């Protein structure tokens, strides 16, 4: 069983100036989400960081919320939290794969994201993984985000512009669609 295995954990990331992290949580299973959040907050605060929390309806909306936050706010990193428990239909695979794919694509664009969306067979597996005194997957996701922020700071300043950039005004939209270029 995974809970009895030992594994290496990186030392906590350290920062010269505080880190601002957005925790995006899908609280469909509220008891699990609350445990994940507790672990994430403890890790962020232990690293001297600050956090905000937003809730979204489900795991599929987590990447979208992170993408919006990146374009419209000033967070250093993100923690994605939630839980998907296998049901009787293939919806489980869709939610697991698409939420993970969305987060991965954002990460490949340079966002610092820790993925703490649990994908499990039953509620007991989720509980064991979520407990902050146990496997603490919320804390692990926060630690991952913090390590990525530390790497980003080490290698250079933050770069905005992830995702599409909307046109500045209606003239540019109309001009672009008619092949006109403004000087």
Q: Which residues are annotated as a binding site for (2S)-2-hydroxy-3-oxobutyl phosphate?
A: 88-89, 129
Tokens 């969305």 appear where?
102
Q: Which residues make up each annotated binding site for 5-amino-6-(D-ribitylamino)uracil?
A: 28, 59-61, 83-85, 115
User: What beta strand segments (E) does 26-101 contain?
Assistant: 50-55, 77-85
Q: Which of 91, 123, 147, 181 is catalytic?
A: 91
Which letter does DSSP use for residue 59 in this model? G
147 noted as active-site residue: no
Angle, helices 137-155/30-46, rounded to nearest 10 degrees: 40
- Beta-carbon contacts of 79 under 8 Å, excluding residues fewer than 6 positions away, are 21, 22, 23, 24, 40, 44, 51, 113, 114, 116, 138, 141, 142, 145
- H or E, element range at 65: helix 62-72
Among 32, 16, 47, 50, which residue's Cα sits nearest to residue 143?
47
- DSSP character for 116? E
Active site residues: 91
């Amino acid at each position: 069983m995974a809970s009895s295995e030992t594994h290496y954990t990186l030392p906590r990331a350290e920062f010269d100036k505080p880190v601002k992290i957005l925790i995006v949580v899908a609280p469909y299973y509220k008891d699990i989400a609350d445990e994940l959040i507790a672990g994430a907050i403890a890790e962020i605060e232990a690293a001297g960081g600050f956090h905000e929390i937003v809730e979204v309806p489900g795991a599929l909306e987590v990447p979208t919320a992170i993408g919006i936050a990146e374009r419209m706010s000033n967070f250093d990193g993100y923690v994605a939290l939630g839980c998907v428990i296998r049901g009787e239909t293939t919806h489980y695979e869709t939610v697991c794969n698409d939420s993970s794919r969305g987060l991965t694509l954002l990460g490949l664009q340079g966002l610092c994201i820790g993925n703490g969306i649990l994908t499990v067979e039953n509620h007991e597996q989720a509980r064991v993984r979520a407990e902050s005194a146990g496997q603490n997957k919320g804390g692990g996701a926060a630690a991952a985000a913090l390590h990525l922020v530390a790497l980003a700071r080490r290698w250079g300043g933050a770069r905005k512009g992830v995702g599409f950039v909307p046109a500045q005004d209606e003239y540019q939209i109309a001009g672009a669609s008619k092949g006109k270029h403004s000087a």
